[in-house]
Amino acid sequence: MSIRPIHNEQDYDDALHRVDYLMDLDPKMGTKASDELEVLVLLIEKYEEKAWAISEPDPIEAIKIRMEELQLKQKDLVPFIGNKSKVSEILNRKIGLSLAMIYNLSQGLHLPLEALIQRPRS
């Protein structure tokens, strides 16, 4: 068993080919082949997480995405934010979200708090 870290696409492709080969063998649990397969799968997962990480949208984008999904208009956010002008300022990134707004939007739009407490991108 010659396992090494996956640093690039070539290493990744090699690991995938080795996993295919080992899967075809259908090794019994506890054998060297099954241990190698298990370790390779973990390395591949870690490389994929790092190489193709999908970042969360910033809070304003998360709100806009949810508005689109629920077919909401700006006026529909008034109960969660306060008034029409404040909704407009938030969505246009003129002012930030308060803790109360974050909580209300999380509850009302069923958005994770984690998505709303990130620093907005400018």
Query: What's the pLDDT tens digit per position in 19-72?
Result: 999 999 999 999 999 999 999 999 999 999 888 877 778 999 999 999 999 999
- The structure tokens listed for 89 are 């300022």
φ and ψ at 102, to 5 degrees? -60, -50
Both tokens of residue 4? 């090494």
Q: What CA–CA distance (Å, rounded) separates 112 from 15?
A: 35
Question: In terms of Cα–Cα distance, which of 37, 47, 39, 49 is closest to 13?
Answer: 47
Q: How confident is the model at residue 102 (pLDDT cuts 50, 70, 90)?
A: very high
Closest CA to 63 of 52, 84, 77: 77
Band of residue 1 on the pLDDT scale cut at 50, 70, 90: low
Q: How many CB atoms lie within 10 A of CB 98?
A: 13
